[in-house]
Amino acid sequence: MDKTHNKLIEAGIQLFGDYGFDAVSVRDIVKGSGANVSAVSYHFGGKAELYKAVIEFLVLEVKDQLIAFDAEQFIKLPLEKMEVRLREIILEFHQLFMSPNGISRLNIFTRETTSPDKHLSHQYFLDMVGYVREFFTKILSSYYQKRNEPLDKVNFVIIFLLSMLKNTLQNRCIELTTQEERDDIIKRLVNLIIYSKF
């Protein structure tokens, strides 16, 4: 992919995330990317196709991060190292959405859970959720087995992790808590997932 293609994707993440599909024009995207007006048509065919490309990019980004976490290596660890690594994985996964354009990413994913599938991008979001579920099911099942805990809580924990992201977005949009308080809450939630029987 060339630089213009990547700049259009990055501009799309920020603008679609901040304002939604309908509120963003092709002119907004080319202005945000520094490209010329014909670039969106040349690289994607139009705004709807760019939006789908943005969703696909975000889904692949999450999938690549999960692959890098290496579930196969995780399940071979002794329990003590699993606990350390599980904490790192949860915090790094959360940090992916706190990176540049992270809130824009969360905005897009949140909209994709509630909006009609008029841009044919909802399947990409469902694929992303599938990757997240598959990865965390594998590592959490292995971890809870080693702790001799029931596996019926795995699905609850995964939903809990996804809810953490959604709550992060809501807290960022409405400044109910300080950054320090949010960091403390996340650490406490991670401790709950790792150590508590619920």
Mean pLDDT of the chain: 85
Q: What is the mean pLDDT of residues 66-81?
A: 97
Residue 172 pLDDT > 60: no
Q: Which residue has the higher pLDDT, 140 or 174?
A: 140
Q: What is the mean pLDDT of residues 84-90?
A: 94
Q: What is the pLDDT of residue 174?
A: 47
Q: Which residue has the higher pLDDT, 39 or 117?
A: 39
Span of 9-13, 18-22, 161-165 with lowest mean pLDDT: 161-165
- For residue 126, the tally of other CB atoms under 10 A from its CB is 14
Q: What is the mean pLDDT of residues 38-54?
A: 92
For residues 144 and 164, give the distance between their C-alpha atoms in angstroms, rounded to a whole number: 20
Q: What is the mean pLDDT of residues 159-176?
A: 65
For residues 119 and 51, give the distance between their C-alpha atoms in angstroms, rounded to a whole number: 8
Q: Which residue has the higher pLDDT, 186 or 69?
A: 69
Q: Averaging pLDDT over each range in 30-34, 125-129, 180-184, which range is the top one?
A: 30-34
Q: What is the mean pLDDT of residues 85-96?
A: 90
Query: pTM here?
Result: 0.83
Instruction: Answer yes or no: are the C-beta atoms of 126 and 62 closer than 8 Å.
Output: no
Assign 120 a pLDDT band (cuts: 50, 70, 90). Answer: low
Residue 116 pLDDT > 90: no
Q: Which residue has the higher pLDDT, 118 or 125?
A: 125
Q: What is the pLDDT of residue 161?
A: 83
Cα 45 versus chain centre, distance: 26
Instruction: Answer yes or no: are the C-beta atoms of 148 and 174 closer than 8 Å.
Output: no
Q: What is the mean pLDDT of residues 113-129?
A: 72
